[in-house]
């Protein structure tokens, strides 16, 4: 298991890498978005990022912006978004990142979610074709979906991998039970995990990215399920507190649970 932190896109990516090293993380997840970490801003810094990787011994993962919808029902917009993700894959290959994440969006006006899932699967086929040329992995992060939505997606494009966002799963219909359902359903496909806490709810306003233990997620149950699934890959802490101590406490809490359960 590898624990990492999301580089704050409001800060300098170099400083974020040094912080992650000093705080005892194994990797940095780079979210390619503004105001300071867009693809256009980071592409000229690839040599620097590779040097930082070698200097610190950390590795990278890449995360596309939440608003990029590769299942968009309008073909020209969808195609443009797919091209943007391909550009991220190109960047990720240059810095030797281990994966690139996209998000699953199944709400768009009056369009049926099954059509949106089909659109996304078609886009993923293009992305997986591109990623396969260098062994890159494309992972799909849940936003407000159920395991059944992802089963439909992976039935069409089985090369994509599951990225479980624990906090997002908690704000859907069944809270911690839904989190465990995702882990059990995709234990053989689970490739990346995001952890953060919230108090549940049914809309994006509930997605407040608190430190672990500050919300209502049953972290003992979540960690137990991950261990039973023999999960041993990357976990990113998406704790959006300005005081980094909350992030470090979250890492300590998860480590303690992992070692003692």
Q: 143 with 150: CB under 8 angstroms?
A: no
Bridge partners, 210 (sequence order): 197
* pLDDT band for position 13 (cuts 50, 70, 90): very high
pLDDT of residue 172: 73
- Candidates 170, 162, 176, 175; CA nearest to 231 is 162
* pLDDT band for position 177 (cuts 50, 70, 90): confident
Pick 173 or 125 by higher pLDDT. Answer: 125
Say which range, 13-17, 173-177, 215-219, has the weakest mean pLDDT. Answer: 173-177
In Å, the largest CA–CA distance within the chain is 51
pLDDT of residue 247: 98
Bridge partners, 61 (sequence order): 29
Whether 175 shows a pLDDT value over 80: the answer reads no
From its phi and psi, is residue 13 left (phi > 0), alpha (psi between -120 and 50) or beta? alpha
Instruction: Give the whole-angstrom CA distance, residue 155 versus residue 150.
Output: 8
Mean pLDDT, residues 109-129: 97
Whether 115 shows a pLDDT value over 90: the answer reads yes
Whether 89 shows a pLDDT value over 70: the answer reads yes
Under DSSP, the state recorded for 210 is B
Q: Which CATH class is domain 2-260?
A: alpha beta
Q: Tell me the average pLDDT of the chain.
A: 95
């Amino acid at each position: 298991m590898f624990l990492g932190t999301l580089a704050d896109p409001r800060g300098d990516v170099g400083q974020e890498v040094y912080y992650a090293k000093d705080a005892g993380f194994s990797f940095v997840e780079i979210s390619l978005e503004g105001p300071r970490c867009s693809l256009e801003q980071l592409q000229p810094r690839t040599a620097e990022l590779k040097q930082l990787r070698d200097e610190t011994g950390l590795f990278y993962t890449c995360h596309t912006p939440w608003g990029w919808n590769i299942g968009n029902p309008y073909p020209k917009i969808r195609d443009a978004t797919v091209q943007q993700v391909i550009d991220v894959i190109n960047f990720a290959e240059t810095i030797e990142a281990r994966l690139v994440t996209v998000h699953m969006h199944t709400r768009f006006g009056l369009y049926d979610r099954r059509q949106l899932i089909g659109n996304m699967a078609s886009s993923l086929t293009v992305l997986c074709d591109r990623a396969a040329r260098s062994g890159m992995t494309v992972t799909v992060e849940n936003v407000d979906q159920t395991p059944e939505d992802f089963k439909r997606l992976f039935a069409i494009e089985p090369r994509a991998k599951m990225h479980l966002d624990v906090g997002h799963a908690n704000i859907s219909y069944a809270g911690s039970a839904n989190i465990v359902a995702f882990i059990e359903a995709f234990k053989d496909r689970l490739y990346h995990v995001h952890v953060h806490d919230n108090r549940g709810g049914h809309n994006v306003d509930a997605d407040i990215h608190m430190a672990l233990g500050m919300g209502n997620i049953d972290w003992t149950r979540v960690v137990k399920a991950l261990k039973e699934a023999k999960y041993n890959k990357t976990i990113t802490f998406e704790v959006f507190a300005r005081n980094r101590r909350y992030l470090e406490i979250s890492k300590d809490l998860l480590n303690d649970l992992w070692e003692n359960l």
